[in-house]
Amino acid sequence: GRTTDLWEMAEALAAYGCEIIVIKRGERGQLLYVGSSRTRWDVPPYPARVKNPLGAGDAFCGGFLAGYRRTFAPLQAVLHGNISSSLVVEGDTAAYALDALPGLAEARLQSLQQSARKV
């Protein structure tokens, strides 16, 4: 009874009580499944100029948690994580994102919101 379908896997995890399932797909962005509403989202990656992918996953997780704490909205949390990782991969170190231009993360967030699509 095993499957390779990511949405089926997300539904199975939701059946165990997971409320929010995020599937990180690297350069292909993220999939979000919200168990309570059975809502599916496909979030493309922000088109960053990748210089060093090291730390992108950690940056996503940190951005996700900060976004969720800020908005308590799963989709917004995924978007925040996506943007966090887009800033990190453009530099040599994780600290590169700390020197981003003021307002850059927010501008990217607004831009990416238009690209997220309900599946």
Residue 1 has a pLDDT of 67
Angle at CA of residue 84, ends 79 and 46, nearest 5°: 60
| Digit-coded pLDDT (tens) for 32-57 | 999 999 999 999 999 999 999 999 99
User: Do the Cβ atoms of 115 and 44 come closer than 8 Å?
Assistant: yes
Q: CA–CA distance from 112 to each of 3, 21, 72, 80 (Å)?
A: 30, 20, 18, 10
Q: Which of 82, 68, 87, 85 is nearest to 113 (CA)?
A: 82
Can 58 be counted among the known catalytic residues? yes
pLDDT tens, 62-79? 999 999 999 999 999 999
pLDDT of 93? 82
Which of 5, 42, 58, 99 does the annotation list as catalytic? 58
